[in-house]
Amino acid sequence: MWWSVFRRLFKRHPSVSSRPSPPDEPARATTDRGDLLEQLELLFNKSDDMRLRRFQLGDSGGRRCAVIFFKGLVDSDRVEEAIVRPLITWSYAAEKVGGNQTRLRDICDRFVVASDAKQVTNAHEASDAVLSGDVLFVFEGDREGLAVSNPGGQARGVQDPILEVTLRGPRDSFTETLFINTSLIRRRVRDPHLRVAIQEIGTRSKTSVALLYIEGITPETLVNEIERRLDGIELDGVLDTGYIEHLIEDEWWSPFPQHLKTERPDKAVAGLYEGRAVLIADTTPFALIMPTTFDSYFHSPEDSYDRWLPVNLLRVVRFIAALTSLVAPSLYVAFVAFHPGTLPTQFLLRVKAAREGVAFPILVEALLMMFFLELIKEAGFRLPSPIGQVFGIVGGLVLSDIGVRAGIVSEAMVIVIAITAISSFSAVDREMGTVLRLLGLPILISTSILGLPGLVLALILIATHLSILRSYGVPYLMPYPYFRIGDMRDTVFAAPMHHRQERPKHLGAKDKRRLRKSKEVADSKDEKGGSR
């Protein structure tokens, strides 16, 4: 793995994404023409959650038929109500009249009480339909069937976001059901130009993945590129958008995430309005927003809801926090172990006093504390939340206090690591926070070799990497280069809404304008008022 990371380090134009070799073909229903019911029985014979209900249409001489579905995926009550009952009732009535309609088309058109039904012509289609939660109606010995959509089964409702907590702003969050998620977005974009392109990814999981974009804003090149990359995926199962993310990102070896993940529909929609595209997968409560820039990991949707002046303060704090979580332990090591001359005298003496009697060198101390931090954090996550919180506090306090008393670490190091932890947790994006904290490790090692110059060199390396990195062709560090004033209005600094009239240029949105100047609006209102 490291070889290949290293190789890519010096590779000029890395390929879009490396694709996995195609898996061995899964057991699939053949497309042979034959008795559909028999084929399906054979295909699913070991699936005990499959339900097959055979019944006869009419008294005697009526054709035998069956409905097939998976329990749990389908609302069983509604199967009776919508399919079985109408058919049986009708077949008796029809027998009395003397007709015996057995053509699927007629049944579909006249008797099936469902909003969505389609004809399937082979076992492959039929099995796909059944697996995706349809109810299949077939005549015995027939080669065709009727797939009736009968959504049901268990799904979580829309709840509060868990990771991206908000003080102000909508409280709904994505769920595991694709169409609930698209509906959450559609409610916010009542624009016929919102496109939802659904495709199935995963040779075995057949997960529905929806690509959302607003035609007329999102550049076509972006949509084409995403579709090209999605088409390149041949994976057995997609359990989360994370799978897709890893396969379509620009540089898989980069530590930096290149897609923005969110569980908040408002954040996804904000991305859509900026000219980005959103990817939603069934069974995943996280949407991917792309392309992504480094900056966007430090933006919260709340920033646009709150007043702009305090938001500016918060953003500056976030960026400083990001930098702190990256370099705090390294800075401490550099100053204390390499350049004690830089420390104010009184502070130097304090640190020196604290260090007296500590068993380990500062570097080992720093590594130990960073390990403790990850340990406490990880354990806190894994434990049930009430215990987790208590554990975090107790673990942190006890470990640091006893650590200091036992001479394993010094007080100053506890403070430094605590600041690092708090800083990294204050990042808006959890993943970016973790990445920054972990990147602190190579920086720390570089610092322990060369002191402050080593720290700067490591930062140069990271900055170089960031400036090389692109997300779907958009440089990761946009919009900072060359100070395009228009794009700088929503970066470290957030301009008031009045001044954010245009979409960010670097995203290449087709419709550039998003707000008319307030003066124009006021003028037009004045005119209206005057005419009245």
Partner 1 sequence: MRSKRLFMHFTILAALSPLLGGCWDYVDIENRAPVMTLAVDFTQGPPGGQFLTTLEIPVARALAEVQGSAQQEEPKVVIEQAGTTLGQALTLVNQKLARRAVFQQMTAILVSDDVARKGIAAVADHALRHPGFNPAAWIYVTDRPAGAFLKATPQFQPLTALYLSDLAKQFPIAPYMARPKEIHTFKVQLQEGATLAPRLTVDEGEIRMNGAAVFSEGRLVGVLDRELARGTNWLLGDLKLTEIAVPCPNQPQGRVTLLVRHAGRSVDLSLDTQSAPKFRFALAATANIIDMNLCPIAPSQAGTRQALADTAAGEIEKMVLAAFEKAQEMQVDYLRLGELLRYTHPVLWKEIEWVKLFPAVEAQIEARLSILGTGRLDQSTLPGSDQEPVAGFIGMTDEVDA
Partner 2 sequence: MRENDKIPPKALAVMVVSAIAELNFLIAPRDVVDAAGRDAWLSTVLAIVVLLLCAGIIITLIRRYPDASIVEIATRILGKPLGTIVALSYAIYWLARAAYVLQAQTWIFAQSLLPNTPLWVTSLYIVMISTYTARHGVEPMARLFLIFIAGYLLPLFLMIGPSYEGALLDRLLPAMEDGLGPVIKGVWIAFSEAPGLSILLILGPFLTGFRRALSSAMIGVILVAIPAVAVMVIVVAQFGTLDVVQHVFPTLALVELIRFPGFSGFRVDPIFLSVWLLVAFTSIALSHYAAASVSAGLFGLNNDKLPIYAIAGALAMWSLWPVALPDLLNYGLRVRIVAIPVAELFLPALLLTVSLIRERSLSSTSERGA
Residues that bind partner 1 (CB under 8 A): 3, 6-7, 336-341, 343, 345, 348-356, 358, 361-363, 445, 448-449, 451
Applying CB under 8 A, what is the total number of residues that bind partner 2? 39
354 binds, among partner 2, partner 1, none (CB under 5 to 8 A by kind): partner 1
Residue 230 interacts with partner 2 (CB under 8 A)?
Answer: no
Among 247, 274, 277, 242, which residue's Cα sits nearest to residue 261? Answer: 242
For residue 329, what are the contacts with CB-CB under 8 A and spacing of at least 6?
366, 369, 370, 416, 417, 420, 440, 444
The whole-angstrom separation of Cα 266 and Cα 302 is 10
Encoded tokens for 281: 């997968």
353 binds, among partner 2, partner 1, none (CB under 5 to 8 A by kind): partner 1
Residue 475 interacts with partner 2 (CB under 8 A)?
Answer: yes
229 or 267, CB closer to partner 2? 229
CB 250 within 8 A of CB 172: no
467 binds, among partner 2, partner 1, none (CB under 5 to 8 A by kind): partner 2
292 or 448, CB closer to partner 1? 448
Q: Which of residues 306-345 bind partner 2 (CB under 8 A)?
A: 338-339, 341-345
Residue 450 interacts with partner 2 (CB under 8 A)?
Answer: yes
162 binds, among partner 2, partner 1, none (CB under 5 to 8 A by kind): none
Torsion, Cα of 470, 471, 472, 474 (10° steps)? -60
What count of other Cβ atoms lies within 10 Å of the Cβ of residue 226? 21
470 or 499, CB closer to partner 2? 470
Of the residues 457, 488, 492, 515, which one makes contact with partner 2 according to CB under 8 A: 457
480 binds, among partner 2, partner 1, none (CB under 5 to 8 A by kind): partner 2
383 or 457, CB closer to partner 2? 457
Residue 467 interacts with partner 2 (CB under 8 A)?
Answer: yes
3 binds, among partner 2, partner 1, none (CB under 5 to 8 A by kind): partner 1
Whole-number Cα distances in Å, 426 to 385, 397, 432: 19, 20, 10
Q: Smallest distance from the beta carbon of 458 to partner 1, in angstroms? A: 12
361 or 496, CB closer to partner 1? 361
Binding window for partner 2 (CB under 8 A); candidates: 5-13, 86-94, 296-304, 407-415: 5-13
Which residues are 70's β-sheet partners? 50
The whole-angstrom separation of Cα 35 and Cα 141 is 5
Residue 223 interacts with partner 2 (CB under 8 A)?
Answer: no
The DSSP string of 102-162 is --HHHHHHHT---S-EEEE-SHHHHHHHHHTTEEEEEETT-S-EEEEE-B-S--------S
12 or 532, CB closer to partner 2? 12
Q: Smallest distance from the beta carbon of 460 to partner 2, in angstroms? A: 6
Residue 222 interacts with partner 2 (CB under 8 A)?
Answer: yes
37 or 260, CB closer to partner 2? 260
4 or 221, CB closer to partner 1? 4
Q: Smallest distance from the beta carbon of 382 to partner 2, in angstroms? A: 38
Which residues are 290's β-sheet partners? 277
349 or 387, CB closer to partner 2? 349
Of the residues 320, 359, 460, 522, which one makes contact with partner 2 according to CB under 8 A: 460
Q: Smallest distance from the beta carbon of 472 to partner 2, in angstroms? A: 6
CB 65 within 8 A of CB 139: yes
Give CA 351 to chain center in angstroms.
44
Q: Smallest distance from the beta carbon of 452 to partner 1, in angstroms? A: 10
- Coil vs helix vs strand at 256: coil
The whole-angstrom separation of Cα 260 and Cα 202 is 22
514 binds, among partner 1, partner 2, none (CB under 5 to 8 A by kind): none
Please report how the helices 308-333 and 430-468 are oriented relative to each other, as an axis angle in degrees rounded to 10: 80
342 or 389, CB closer to partner 2? 342
Encoded tokens for 452: 């402050």
448 binds, among partner 1, partner 2, none (CB under 5 to 8 A by kind): partner 1
Q: Smallest distance from the beta carbon of 342 to partner 1, in angstroms? A: 8
What letter does residue 290 receive in the DSSP assignment? E
Q: Smallest distance from the beta carbon of 405 to partner 1, in angstroms? A: 15
Residue 44 interacts with partner 2 (CB under 8 A)?
Answer: no
CB 291 within 8 A of CB 386: no
460 binds, among partner 1, partner 2, none (CB under 5 to 8 A by kind): partner 2
Indicate the helix (H) or strand (E) that contains 186: helix 178-186
The DSSP string of 437-474 is HHHHHHHHHHHHHHHHHHHHHHHHHHHHHHHH-EETTE
Indicate the helix (H) or strand (E) that contains 435: helix 430-468
In the chain, the largest separation of any two C-alpha atoms, in whole Å, equals 106
136 or 351, CB closer to partner 1? 351
What count of other Cβ atoms lies within 10 Å of the Cβ of residue 162? 10
290 or 333, CB closer to partner 1? 333
The DSSP string of 59-90 is SSSPPEEEEEEEBTTB-HHHHIIIIIHHHHHH
The whole-angstrom separation of Cα 139 and Cα 524 is 66
Strand-pair category, 474-475 with 470-471: antiparallel
Residue 158 interacts with partner 2 (CB under 8 A)?
Answer: no
Footprint on this chain of partner 2 (rule: CB under 8 A) = 9-10, 12-13, 221-222, 225, 338-339, 341-346, 348, 449-457, 460-461, 463-464, 467-468, 470, 472-473, 475, 477, 480-482
